[in-house]
């Protein structure tokens, strides 16, 4: 399959998904703050696990998509961001939450755009 065709196919999955379309920075921040609370309170049972799992899945998915575009498809050359090889999902979530808290004026933008912006700021390429 040609690279542009694969890119359009993958991109259409995000555009066509009603769930993805409804996620702005406000909703992403709400969900991801539950994940931070979960980690900071020693895996507290008092959080909404749907929110925690959504946040982890959303950010992991964005990271995996970036990794695929960089390594397999070659769409991002150079990469948008360069995280260390020993990163954890918690570090990615914390980077996104920090970015969202530091840019409240941008919370109306789509969550995927904000996620990429956050990871680009947190893990700049040399």
Split at pLDDT 50, 70, 90, the class of 116 is very high
Q: Which of 15-29, 39-53, 77-91, 110-124 has the lowest mean pLDDT?
A: 15-29
What pLDDT, on a 0 to 100 scale, did the predictor assign at position 9? 42
What pLDDT, on a 0 to 100 scale, did the predictor assign at position 49? 87
pTM for the predicted model, two decimal places: 0.78
Contacts of 47 (CB under 8 A, 6+ apart): 34, 35, 37, 38, 41
What pLDDT, on a 0 to 100 scale, did the predictor assign at position 12? 44
Are 3 and 75 spatial neighbours (Cβ–Cβ below 8 Å)?
Answer: yes
Are 31 and 7 spatial neighbours (Cβ–Cβ below 8 Å)?
Answer: no
Dump pLDDT digits (tens) for 26-80. Answer: 999 999 999 999 888 876 677 888 999 999 999 999 999 888 888 876 666 788 8
Split at pLDDT 50, 70, 90, the class of 84 is confident
Rounded Cα distance between 116 and 106, Å, is: 13
What pLDDT, on a 0 to 100 scale, did the predictor assign at position 78? 84
- Is the link from the previous residue into 25 a cis peptide, with omega within 30 of 0? no
Dump pLDDT digits (tens) for 2-15. Answer: 444 444 444 544 44
Are 24 and 109 spatial neighbours (Cβ–Cβ below 8 Å)?
Answer: yes
């Amino acid at each position: 399959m040609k690279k542009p065709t694969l890119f359009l196919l993958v991109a259409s999955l995000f555009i066509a998904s009603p769930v993805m379309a409804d996620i702005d920075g406000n909703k992403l921040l709400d969900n991801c703050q539950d994940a931070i609370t979960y980690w900071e309170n020693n895996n507290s049972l008092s959080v909404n696990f749907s929110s925690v799992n959504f946040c982890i899945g959303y950010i992991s998915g964005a990271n995996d998509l970036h990794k695929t575009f960089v390594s397999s498809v070659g769409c991002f050359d150079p990469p948008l961001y360069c995280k260390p090889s020993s990163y954890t999902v918690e570090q990615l979530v914390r980077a996104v939450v920090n970015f969202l808290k530091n840019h409240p004026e941008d919370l109306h933008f789509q969550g995927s755009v904000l996620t990429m912006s956050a990871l680009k700021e947190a893990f700049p390429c040399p």
